[in-house]
Structure 1
Amino acid sequence: MKLKNIVIITIVFGTIWSCRKDDDPIGEVVPPRSIIEVAAEDDAEIREFLSTHFFNYEDFQDPPEGFDFKIQFDTISGENEDKTSILDSGSLPGIEFGMETITIPSAAFRITDGEEAEHTLYYLIARQGVSEETPTIGDDVALRYEGLLLNGTIFDNSGSQPLLLNLTAGDGRGLTIGFGNGVEYLKTGIDFIDNGDGTVSYSDYGIGAIFIPSGLAYFNGSPSSLIPTYSPLIFKIDALAYQKDTDFDGDGIPSILEDVDGDGNLNNDNTDGDILANFNDTDDDGDGIPTREEIILDDEGNFVGFKDTDGDGIPDHLDRDS
């Protein structure tokens, strides 16, 4: 059964907008900070949290009766002085911990200083799912999540039932680059149970957390008054199921194959220069011919490959004069 038959939700683009700090005088324009400086500060703050906190890894290694399989963080101190930090948790049996570095230009936040900075997201996998593969940045994923600041303040919660999110487009909640890239490390479950009351339950799904610097989140803007500017974020994730090779715009091409420059960001691939990125555009080159008519599909409408009619090395669906 397709995910869209399990969870129905309207998927729209999330919008990042700038917010004035409460203590800034009305009318005073505060210039954005250097993305390079903020990246360094965020990484130091995140690593400080990771080295001074642990999670309930013992519960995941030997689940007690009635365990809810929820990640809980606590400070390494007092009776918890001997706990293994999150930063070192990859050494524990059954636990995965890692990081990914992503380069982001300041232009991504409409800043014109020409800077770019490397940002590191950290991921913790308390329990890996049983699916054979992980979702890609272009896929629809059914998940539950909780978003919190490093000080423990909860700013968002998806609730007990799953939401269907496209890892690039989101669902209108202002999905971040770091969120989508972090979920890619979690395998999902493969089975679900219809509870007969309009809800479904999942088993054997991936459970983890993502630690995201502000440059992979909202930087100098925020979708919520609960998120201060330049805030690193934490998301606890239950990755329940996903739709392999999601075709977000229905143009016949799996969304992940519309990452033309291969940088793991679908939003910056816009061949015809209109307002729509290719993964959300049914005519990628703007020549008036639908993309579906410029690619190779099988009899059932499944993607087979690209055409290059004039042999110039540019696929027809990206070539206005093919």
Structure 2
Amino acid sequence: MKKKDLFLLVLVFALTWSCKKDDDKLDIEVVPPQSLSETAIEDDAEIKEYLQTHFYNYEEFDNPPTDFDYKIKFDTIAGDNAGKTPIIDMTDNLKTEVITVKSSDFGRDDDEEVSHTLYTLVVREGEVEEHPTIGDYTVLHYEGTLIDGTAFDASVNVEARLYLSSTVRGYGNGVEYLSPGTGPFENGDGTVSFEGYGIGAVFIPSGLGYFDRAPSGSGIASYTPLVFKIDLLSFEANTDFDGDGIPSILEDLDGDGNLNNDNTDQDTERIFLPNHNDSDDDADGIPTIDEIDIDNEGNVTFRDTDGDGISDHLDSDS
């Protein structure tokens, strides 16, 4: 299977779903169609309420017991836990980012552009002081749940290698706040381990998740916020997903943190392939890698042969 074909499959499914028998599938409530704007308001209220009424095991992370597994555990602030600090008040750990989402990204024709707030809880910084971009491959553990804690996917004991722009947008943008650890280290039994990796969780409104396009059999209803616990083990900086010589992050032409809406030759394509997944970005028959210059250190220089202010690899008549 070609990389482009694989990307289309990965983008549709976004994350690898755990195999379930039919009788193990979650019941899905059929929800009437909603606009992006009204859903954003409802999702943000639901996420904020959760953050105000829940805490995580921060005391264990601050003073790890001998047998601590370094796993995030959420619980309700009530009863014996009444004095715990709510997540929303942990301002040093909770990162918020406002991201604009277009309804056209979900096939809508109502031309809405709606601000969504992404909440990322950084529980532990990784030992390596670098961060991945939305255009990088990452190696991580993750657990995906609905906001009520119902699990729908996980790769907890096996390292998952994910290209962040092939996941739902909020997941990729959230992972950017984490930093990796060191490793891999051979364990002598065919497995590897990592040390000092970043640990966090991301709370994703549906407009930065699946909105009304959740994969069949996933157990996720339309317009459902998602929560992912994440261990960022490592990442591959300056990933070049399509092998065209340009790091994927440099193919975010409008700088909006979404690589999947930058497609120079979309008017001529039979299948929509954004630039970071297209080895001939302007469809002129000349591979992108032959229209740029790369030095011995991997730095890219963009040519403009006809001096029109458009780089050759984006200019079909250059």
Same fold (TM over 0.5): yes
2:53 partner letter: T
Q: How does 1:279-294 map to 2 (within 5 A)?
A: 279-294=276-291
Query: 1:1-25, CA deviations, whole angstroms, 9 ceiling, x for partnerless residues?
Result: xxxxxxxxx76532169xxx9666x
Contact 1:106/1:113 (<8 A) preserved: yes
Q: CA deviation at 1:260?
A: 0.8
Q: CA deviation at 1:130?
A: 1.6
Contact 2:36/2:103 (<8 A) preserved: yes
SS of the residue 1:249 aligns to: coil
Contact 2:28/2:219 (<8 A) preserved: no
Match of 1:204 among 178, 196, 205: 196
Structure-1 separation of matches of 2:170 and 2:218: 20
Q: Identity, % of aligned pairs?
A: 57
Q: CA deviation at 1:90?
A: 2.5
Aligned to 1:163: 160
Contact 2:145/2:152 (<8 A) preserved: yes
Question: RMSD across aligned C-alpha pairs, in angstroms?
Answer: 1.8
Contact 2:186/2:193 (<8 A) preserved: yes
Q: Do structure 1's residue 255 and structure 2's residue 248 form an aligned pair?
A: yes
Q: CA deviation at 1:242?
A: 0.3
Structure-1 separation of matches of 2:37 and 2:165: 24
Segment of structure 1 superposing worse, 96-105 or 249-258: 96-105
1:222 partner letter: A
SS of the residue 2:123 aligns to: strand
Match of 2:312 among 301, 313, 316: 316
Q: Which runs of 5+ in 1 are unaligned?
A: 1-9, 25-29, 170-174
Aligned to 1:181: 173
SS of the residue 1:159 aligns to: strand
Query: 1:77-117, CA deviations, whole angstroms, 9 ceiling, x for partnerless residues?
Result: 011000000101235xxxx2110011111111111112221
Q: CA deviation at 1:288?
A: 0.5
Contact 2:29/2:221 (<8 A) preserved: no
Q: Do structure 1's residue 101 and structure 2's residue 98 form an aligned pair?
A: yes
TM value normalised by structure 2: 0.89
Structure-1 separation of matches of 2:147 and 2:193: 30
Give the number of equivalent residue pairs: 295
User: Structure 1 residues 85, 277: CA separation in 2 closer, same or farther (over 3 Å shift)?
Assistant: same
SS of the residue 2:12 aligns to: coil
User: Structure 1 residues 23, 151: CA separation in 2 closer, same or farther (over 3 Å shift)?
Assistant: closer
Q: How does 1:116-195 map to 2 (within 5 A)?
A: 116-169=113-166, 175-195=167-187
Q: Structure 1 residue runs of 4+, over 3 Å off?
A: 21-24
Contact 1:246/1:255 (<8 A) preserved: yes
Aligned to 1:46: 47
Q: CA deviation at 1:74?
A: 0.3
2:63 partner letter: D
